[in-house]
Amino acid sequence: MDWRLTFGGEDVGWEGALATIVEEPEAQVFTVLYDVSSEDEQELDRWEGSDLGLHKKLRLRIHTLDGPTLAWLYVLDAYEGGLPSARYLGLIAEAAERAGAPNDYVTKLRTLPCSNTGPAR
């Protein structure tokens, strides 16, 4: 809790701004948790650009439907701002929907401003 989804790093993304989270009182972000091996964690670090300094890796206590737990989160190390592409935003909304996010959360994702004309998928 107390984090919100936003976008930033428009100058480092291929199609516009990249998804990240920032602290904000009373805000919530829906996410999916994965249990990964240490080898997979190292691969994910590479995939997320940790060696390039694109993200900070934070260990946070998060609230789940099963109670609180600790999780690693990748937070973009760039200024907030910029618009994601419609395709990227559509992929985020689709993933949230498939993961069981509340309908109002998915609807909000689908109606966020994007850099391409037309609504996100």
The span from the CA of 41 to the CA of 44, in Å, is 5
Label each residue of 89-115 as H, E or C: HHHHHHHHHHCCCCHHHHHHHHCCCCC
74 is in an annotated binding site: no
94 is catalytic: no
Phi and psi at residue 87, to the nearest 5°: -65, -50
Which of 15, 24, 48, 94 is flagged as catalytic? Answer: 48
- 45: part of which helix (H) or strand (E)? helix 38-47
Binding residues for substrate: 88
Binding residues: 88
Could you give the residue numbers annotated as active site? Answer: 48
